[in-house]
Amino acid sequence: MQTVATVMTPEVSSVDRDFPLLKAIAIMAKRAISCVVVREGPRPIGILTERDLVRKLFAAGGDPAMFRVGDVMTTPPQTVTEETTTLEALQLLRTRAFRRLPVVDPSGALVGIVTQTDLLHAVIADLEEASRLKSEILSTVSHELRTPIALIAGYVDLLSEGTFEPLQPRQQEVVARVQRTSSQLVDLVNAAFELIQLEAGRVSVACNPIDVEALFEQLGREFRALVPEGVSLHWRNELGTQPILGDHAKLKASLKNVVDNALKFTTAGRVEVMAAWADGLLTFVVQDTGIGIPAADLSHIFELFRQVDASDTRRFAGVGLGLHVVKRLLDVLGGRIAVDSTLGVGSTFRITIPAPRVMGGPPTRP
Ligand code: ADP
């Protein structure tokens, strides 16, 4: 945090309170300055500004030649020292009608002046630096978290598949629970990391051929263990086998999030994921027969940390990051996400992205 010393102007014109007003105005005009500090000995006791001249002098009426500086100055001014932080100084100005503050030394003697504009610039620069540092730290922490968490998730998968030795039913149950939780953790860290990159403007758009059929197959494998009992998950690709051009990672992350929600909020029935061309746009529709979303909440669910039910007793895991990240990712791609829902019946999320068809070239295998 910068201090007043870094932004103050040490050269300051000062006069005493008995100084003729017209002469003070002449000094301001000649030096092209908008204020003079009024002193008693070395101590500042007021400031005479252009605003004082307009407001007070003309309100008082009479002959300006009769006035002394002390008659129209603003008193008493707050003072700051060179060690005062720019934020503290700015806060002093916020509570008063002043735009400038005299700077004094420890004995109270005038040593300079600092303006609101200079303080604002300094505070903004400090905030930008603090925000950059915060993003840097968050980015490093989430990046460092990703590797060990992915490793845990990988070993749990191996355990669950009985790679080392077949598991007893009770062990299988516990491992399945760890698998679900670690998968949530992976998603949460990925979403946080993605959001930090988006906030920092560190996101670029890739353009490569995507084989949607292969993408659906891969997502199908990843979601297999997460489909609740009594729910069936269907993938329908109407795009054909021709690859499309787009950003594979962002598309996959967006779809994954929406399908994950559909499975999370559906306790019976089906979840269907469909890909097609509609009105020249690459369109993905994720439809579920889940709990649905109240009409009043539909416009809020894409906001950061917004959940329909934010109570402590909430039945479903999650923090309200997912859809916000999806919307931000799609913004980057020039795409959109929309939702239709009926409470108790189900929800339909529709993702549309402008993506040209590809005539040839190898598809990206996920
Ligand atoms: P969360 O981590 O809570 O799932 P999201 O941003 O992904 O966060 O979703 C925000 C909220 O939108 C969810 O908490 C839930 O209330 C609602 N929601 C999202 N998808 C569905 C869905 N398919 N069915 C019902 N509610 C949903």
Residue 321 pLDDT class (50, 70, 90 cuts): confident
Higher pLDDT, 244 or 268: 268
* Of the listed ranges 48-52, 227-231, 334-338, the one predicted with least confidence: 48-52
Residue 99 pLDDT class (50, 70, 90 cuts): confident
Evaluate if residue 222 carries a pLDDT over 60: yes
Type of residue numbered 50: E
Percent of the chain with pLDDT over 70: 92
Evaluate if residue 89 carries a pLDDT over 50: yes
Residues 361/244, Cβ–Cβ less than 8 Å = no
Q: What is the mean pLDDT of residues 161-188?
A: 86
Evaluate if residue 362 carries a pLDDT over 80: no
Evaluate if residue 61 carries a pLDDT over 90: no
Any ligand 1 atom below 6 A from CB of 187: no
The arrangement of secondary structure in 123-199, i.e. its CATH architecture, is Orthogonal Bundle (1.10)
Q: Could you give the CA distance from residue 202 to residue 52 in angstroms, rounded to a whole number?
A: 48
Kindly report the average pLDDT of the chain as a whole number: 86
Q: Could you give the CA distance from residue 55 to residue 32 in angstroms, rounded to a whole number?
A: 20
Residues 160/225, Cβ–Cβ less than 8 Å = yes
Residues 77/115, Cβ–Cβ less than 8 Å = no
Residue 21 — φ and ψ, nearest 5°? -60, -45
What does the buried/exposed string (b/e) look like for 1-38 if buried means 16 or more CB atoms within 10 Å of the residue's CB? ebbbbebbeeebebbebebebeebbeebeeeebebbbb
CATH code of the region 4-115? 3.10.580.10
Residue 358 pLDDT class (50, 70, 90 cuts): low
Residues 256/351, Cβ–Cβ less than 8 Å = no
Any ligand 1 atom below 6 A from CB of 258: no
Evaluate if residue 59 carries a pLDDT over 80: no
Atom of ligand 1 nearest to the CA of 309: 16
Evaluate if residue 14 carries a pLDDT over 90: yes
Domain residue extents for the chain: 4-115, 123-199, 208-353
Write the Ramachandran bin of 49: left for phi over 0, alpha for psi from -120 to 50, otherwise beta.
Answer: beta
Atom of ligand 1 nearest to the CA of 349: 23
For ligand 1, the distance from its centroid to the CA atom of residue 307, given in whole angstroms, is: 6
DSSP 297-325: GTTTTTSTT--S--STT-SS---S-HHHH
Any ligand 1 atom below 6 A from CB of 337: no
Global model pTM greater than 0.75: no
Which CATH class name applies to 208-353? alpha beta
Type of residue numbered 343: L
Percent of the chain with pLDDT over 90: 45
Residue 141 pLDDT class (50, 70, 90 cuts): confident
> Which residues neighbour 220 within 8 Å (Cβ) at sequence distance 6 or greater?
233, 235
pLDDT at 188: 81
Where are the strands (E) in 211-308, listed by range? 231-237, 244-246, 269-278, 281-288
pLDDT at 83: 95
pLDDT at 365: 47
